[in-house]
Amino acid sequence: MSVIAPKFRFSEFLKSITDNLFWIIILVTLIGLPVIMIVLLFVDLPVYQGELINPFLAFSWMFHPELSLPLIKSFMITDFFRIAVFPGFGFAVLLATSVIFIERKMLAKLQLRVGPFYCGKIEGILQLMADGIKLVTKEIIIPAKADKPIFILSPLMFVGAAAAFVALIPVAPGWVVADIDLGLIAVFAVIGFFPIITVLASWSANSKYPFIGGIRALFQMVSFEIPLILSLLGVVILTGTLNLSEIVASQASFPWIIFLPVGAIVFFIAMLAELERIPFDLPEAESEIVAGWLTEFSGMMYGLVQLGSYIKLYAFAALFVVIFLGGWNGPMIFPPLEEELILEGKTIGPITIQTPGLPIFSMEFFSGVFWFILKTAAVIFFILLPRGVFPRVRIDLLLDLGWFKLIGLTFLNIFIALALLYAGVFGPGGML
Partner 1 sequence: MVGELASNYSTILMMFGFAVVATAPALLISRMIAPRKRSNPVKFLPMECGQVPSGAGRTHFMMQYYAYILMFVVFDVMAIFLYAWGSSILSLPRTATLPIIAFLAIMFAAMAYALDQSRRRNIW
Q: Rounded to whole angstroms, how far apart are CA atoms 166 and 322?
A: 12
Check binding of 414 to partner 1 (CB under 8 A).
yes
Ranges of beta strands (E only) in 193-348 are 346-348
**Closest of 299, 378, 387, 316 to residue 104, by C-alpha:** 387
DSSP 266-286: HHHHHHHHHTT-TTS-GGG-T
Omega within 30 of 0 (cis) for the link into 279: yes
Round to whole Å and give the CA distance between 127 and 115.
Answer: 10
List, in order, residues 6 or more apart from 201 with CB less than 8 Å away. Answer: 150, 151, 154, 155, 158, 210, 214, 293, 297
Q: Which of 197, 192, 178 is nearest to 308 (CA)?
A: 197
Site string for partner 1, 178-207 (x = CB under 8 A): xxx---xxx-x-x------------x-xxx
CB of 376 to partner 1, least distance (A): 19
Query: In whole angstroms, how close is the CB of 267 to partner 1 at the nearest point?
Result: 13
| Binding of residue 83 to partner 1 (CB under 8 A) | yes
Minimum distance from residue 151 beta carbon to partner 1 (Å): 12
Cα three-residue angle 332-337-341, rounded to 5 degrees: 175
CB of 385 to partner 1, least distance (A): 28
Report if residue 377 touches partner 1, rule: CB under 8 A: no
CB of 237 to partner 1, least distance (A): 5
Residue 407 makes contact with partner 1 by CB under 8 A: yes
Residue 346 lies near partner 1 (rule: CB under 8 A) = no
For the bound state, the minimum distance from the C-beta of residue 317 to partner 1, rounded and expressed in Å, comes to: 18
Among 71, 290, 341, 377, binds partner 1 (CB under 8 A): 290
Pick the closer one to partner 1 by CB: 71 or 218. 218
Q: How far is the CB of 407 from partner 1 (least distance, A)?
A: 7
Size of the site for partner 1 (CB under 8 A): 84
The answer to whether 303 contacts partner 1 (rule: CB under 8 A) is yes
Residues 390 and 279: beta-carbon distance below 8 Å = yes
Cα separation of 371 and 89, whole Å? 20
User: Of the candidates 197, 397, 387, which has an alpha carbon nearest to the alpha carbon of residue 281?
Assistant: 387
Under rule CB under 8 A, residue 135 binds partner 1: yes
Kindly indicate which of the ranges 255-263, 275-283, 288-296, 362-370 contains the residues binding partner 1, using the contact rule CB under 8 A: 288-296
The answer to the question of residue 373 lying near partner 1 (CB under 8 A) is no
Residue ranges in 221-280 that form contacts with partner 1 under rule CB under 8 A: 222-223, 225-226, 229-230, 233, 236-237, 240-242
Contact status: 219 vs partner 1 (CB under 8 A): yes
User: Least distance in Å: CB of 138 to partner 1?
Assistant: 6
State phi, psi for 352 to the nearest 5 degrees: -115, 120
Judge whether 176 and 102 are in contact, CB under 8 Å. Answer: no
Q: Does 89 bind partner 1 (CB under 8 A)?
A: yes
Measured CA to CA in angstroms, residue 31 lies from 23, 26, 121, 146 at distances of: 11, 8, 34, 47
Task: Give whole-number Cα distances, 42 to 28, 32, 37, 49, 63, in Å.
Answer: 20, 16, 9, 22, 19
Residue closer to partner 1, measured from CB, 18 or 137: 137
- The residue among 287, 294, 273 whose CA lies nearest residue 398 is 273
Contact call for residue 304 and partner 1 (CB under 8 A) = yes
Query: 143 φ, ψ to 5°?
Result: -55, 150
Question: How far is the C-alpha of 87 from the C-alpha of 369, rounded, in Å?
Answer: 10
Biggest alpha carbon distance in the chain?
A: 78
351 DSSP β-pair partners = 348
- The number of beta carbons lying within 10 Å of the beta carbon of residue 430 is 12
* Per-residue contact flags (x/-) with partner 1 for residues 305 to 334, judged by CB under 8 A: --x---------------------------
Report the nearest approach of partner 1 to the CB of residue 215 (Å). 6
Nearest to 102 by CA among 298, 383, 341, 340: 383
Q: Does 285 bind partner 1 (CB under 8 A)?
A: no
Interface of this chain with partner 1, residues 90 to 109, rule: CB under 8 A: none
Q: Stretches 1-9, 40-48, 137-145, 267-275: which one binds partner 1 (CB under 8 A)?
A: 137-145
Is the Cβ of residue 225 or residue 274 nearer to partner 1 in the bound state? 225
- Decide whether 295 or 329 has the Cβ nearer to partner 1: 295
Residues 154-173 that bind partner 1 (CB under 8 A): 155-157, 159-164, 166-168
Stretch that binds partner 1, among 35-43, 276-284, 298-306, 362-370 (CB under 8 A): 298-306
- With contacts defined by CB under 8 A, name the span among 1-9, 257-265, 374-382, 392-400 that binds partner 1: 392-400
Is residue 142 involved in binding partner 1 (CB under 8 A)? yes
